[in-house]
A and B are shown apart, each in its own frame.
Chain A
Amino acid sequence: MKKLGAKDKIQKRTWIILALIVGLGFITIIGKLFIVQVVQGEELSTKALDQQLKDTSIGAKRGTIYDCNGKVIAKSATVWKLALEPTYFEDDEQREYVAKGIADILDTDYEKIFEKTKKNVYYVDIKSNIENDVKDELVEFKKEVTEKYLKLANVIYLIEDYKRYYPYGTFASSVIGFTGSDGQGLAGLEYQYDEVLSGTPGRVLTAVDGTGKTEMPYEYEYKVDAINGYNLVLTIDETVQRIMEKYLKQGLIDNAVYNRGAAIMMNVKTGGIIGMAVEEGFDANDPFKLVSEAKKEEIAALPEDEQEAETSKALSEQWRNKAVSDTYYPGSVFKIITSAMALEEGAITLDSQFTCTGAYSPYEGVNPIPCHNTAGHGTQTFPQALCNSCNPAFMMIGQKVGAEKFWEYYKAFGYSEKTGIDLPGEADDIFFSQDGSMGPVDLAVSSFGQGFSITPIQMITAVASVVNGGNLMQPYLVSQIVDDDGNIISATEPTVKRQVVSKEVSEELCKILEENAVSGAAKNGYVTGYRVGGKTGTSQRLADINGDGIQDYIASFCGFAPADDPQYIMLVYYDSPQGDSYYGSTVAAPVFAKIMTEVLPYLGVEAQYTEEELANMSTTAGAYTGVSVSDAKTAVINDGFAPVVYGNGDVVLSQIPAGGATIPQDGTVVLFTDENAEKEMVKVPDLVGMSIAEANRSAALFNLNVSISGSASSSNCISYSQDIEADTEVKPGTVITVSFCETGVAD
């Protein structure tokens, strides 16, 4: 029985053992497997795949950027990327050999590469953007390595990649932007359209075994082709942009501008940007190089530990697109807007009269705010007040409009919002308050564009709406996105945000602004042969930015053409000119005129000369060669030119200007009668700082012709530049183009 008792005990305890082993034990491991396989399965298999698959990426070609005529502004070209597969290395000797070879070819730090060769991974990047010639050296080196160590045949990797090139360098760099070392857009359109341009990189996944070999008994390869980025077609016209940059830069130098300048040209009807220049621009191929010599010297003078921070500050400054990212007091250009709102609201009519005594108190007890003409403009009609750019008159107009309406129109003209131009970093305006409330003095100064800050792009967009019939457009730079086969992926349709003023008000203001350009303060913006309208602006900067203790100004000019049916509008603006003058009329307006003089004919705007201009017009010289000297002289005089004979021959051998060339009326035609005479040269005199008559006279002394450019419709204009520099040797009879501008307008 006792034995049976022991057996019973065993029976009982057997169940406990079974429960522990089969129950607890197996349930535990099954549960654990469930957690690892089902709950964590995905995470673990991802990690497993990371090591089981060799992932090689195939670069996608970044899209090209074209101007509106299909000229290439930015493109990507093939370069090479060097990578290593350090897992193949067997010992430090091999690592040293390869690291040394690569460091020599790339001219980089040996230690860094050696460190990378020690990693036990399939892939490590060494360098991007390797040009073809360096790549060839690397290929040679790879052969050497393979000969020396057979096992290292696959250790060096060269992967095709792309690098960004900007064929025109500094051209429109603030707008186009640039890309970083990995090809990602860092500024401008490159940044804004990064996703569109960059495309989708492809990849090849290859199965490898634990030693990194790809000869697997089973096939596992997965390839995704790279999808090239789309191309951008801009509204920018390369020719226009180039002309804008040329003259903007010239103005920058002529006026010793401290803090860069910008110019925007827009199609008033669509909002498309035809040109957007910021000077000094940087080189998009080398964006990390400081352009400003002054800034470089400033930084070099700093203690060494501050230089780096200051340099990066200066660089971001240099990359900033002044036309959209900087704000400024718009100054008198804003009077166009004040005028538009006052006319639209019926607060004033064209016949309204305003009396300027040189200063005006917006309300009693406030110090009078002066006009730029401290002597006063006297009693003027509204159009006269606008042409005089009279501040007191505009303070009165502002009062008639009232703060509430002023704020409403301020918003309606789009100043309180971003214009929505397709560029990054558009700045916000800074107004007196978020809700538009402002005091009487605020309103008074706002009426002539002081006291609040807006961006240049906001300004030009608002003026465009005034002159295009009242439609506020959304400005844009990219007109089309196309693929490599030329299929249009998307096209930008002009967007009318809202109608701000009526067509009638728009037309009336166009007329007044044209008058302003012909005879008002905007005279220097006049473009001979074209009907242009415009408005100057000179505004104070709040801060004295270069710290010389003298108040700094912003000189701007906003004009459009043709005045009877505006198509193009341009804003030119200089931040802190330090030259003889800081007025919009003397600094910005001439630049506007010079740009428009070249751009309008290029854009196919037809010239419409006034009678006076026709009288001043250049005419075509006839052909006077091959006849006797006396016959030629008669012919020249009959054509209205002055003949000058060089040489002793009897027959005219050649002439300057050539037959068919245009020369000013009353110009000089030089007739050469022997071969020695043809070799004679004259020195160009200095024609700057002269009136038209003086310039003509001194040119005539040397038998040279003067062609007048710029605002030369009145007698009090002075030449400020000539296209052939003084002391240059030229042939007699050569036509020298001399630029004139008005004096005595101070706005």
Chain B
Amino acid sequence: MMEMEEKIKQWCPAGGLRVEESGERVLVVMADDLENVCRRLHDDTEEPMDYLRDLVGVDNGPETGTLSVFYQLESARTGRRLMLRCDTRGRDAEGALLPTVSGIWHTAEIKEREAWDLLGIRFVGHPDMRRLYLRENWNGHPLRKDYDMNSNVLDLEAETNADVTEEFDLMADGTLRGHENVVFNPDDFVVNIGPQHPSTHGVLRMRTALDGEMVKKIDPVLGYIHRGIEKMNERLTYPQTLALTDRLDYLSAHQNRHALCMCIEQAAGIEVSRRVQFIRTIMDELQRIDSHLLFYSCLAMDMGALTPFFYGFREREMILDIFEETTGGRLIQNYNVIGGVQADIHPGFVSSVKKFITHLRGIIHEYHEIFTGNVIARTRLQGVGVLSREDAISLGATGGTGRASGWANDVRKHHPYALYGEVDFREIVYTEGDSFARYMVRMDEIMESCHIIEQLIDNIPEGEFRVKVRPVLKLPEGVYTASVEASRGEFGVFLVSRGDKVPYRLHYRSTGLPLVHAMDTVCRGGKIADLIAIGGTLDFVIPDIDR
């Protein structure tokens, strides 16, 4: 770590490097050095920081007069993680500027748009500075601390999306000059896929330019289910923030909440018992099976095979029953709490999980017979929608999508948490990068998850299921992060505490946002039917994208 920092220091001629260490270690870089540092980190020969995990904007408060952006980096080769911070000079239109890193990591294209939308940080040189979630005529930037909650009246007028977008360049004399980039030409045949569409799996809208059946360009329009969870979090106490995580990616409810609990526990120095670790690991894996069964169902349905859809739901129902016995919920489960879990496992839990796994192992061949092996399904998936490994990393397409492209990115393997360091499991990696590989990764992961659960289910140790935690929890000042492998990729929690009982900023790394962003890269040149199948195999969940 030290030599890394030494290296970075040399790349910062303008302002040097400052290291802050409250909570996580953060390297503070001056805006003038940012581009150079990022470029060199990305191009480093030994340890290229080629994966931008997340880009988070934070308002430092009107009194400081600055805004910050945190860059969470990881090297896909070694797994080393690094966090940079860069502050803007001011908060007004001239001051809230940062150089873009979207030319270095493609995922920054969409994440910088998010930071612009919610915090009003303008990224100089970014080709597409439109708002991401909010309406184009929205006033203000809601995640600013001085944002007036009443500054926008309810607007029910239909929104016309502009076909052009702005890019800002910083001139040598320090002035900004904007010029327009074209999203769609007037003679493009633009079809709206969504927001109300059978196979966008929620309210996602993709403006798709077609040439006959061929896809020329996709422009995702997000925000149809934006609830402002991150803004809400700034007013909720830590236990209360937990209530919202299940509502992000509802097919990763356990994992999401696991990540937030881990983050808070780590910040507050709470140790959970081994029993809790066992329960959390088993629940995470059950959730993963649940999610992947739904993935299978929805993919089959998107491709017009309605019968396999019900096969997946048939078995998923059993998992939901198991969940409901123990957690009391089927979709919104409220199970992990700070310091443990809400309630001890149900007396029948162990036996029903074992019964379910035996059942699943006995019936999974039907899934493969009716769909995997089918010549129609295969020709529709194989060789279609190829995502290269480089693109997957650059786009931050984690989870099964990245692993299908040959990028070993399983957080469970490379940054073990809970009991994943102790159990034996295989990280499923395919190298083809096509739709079929993405499909097979998930199908194989179902079996791996069964394997993990089988190792744990008989050995759950006795112990407390929840340690006592003070009802009003205050976290020490600092920046804290945690990440887990959710059902469809890396789910991250980024928490800034100012020592209050509410978080100063609580940001979630959406697993689906990079995937939706990847749609354009993956689908180009494919057909409409491929677009639907690719959307199915990328497997995104919209509430998690919009948050």
Does B associate with A?
A: no
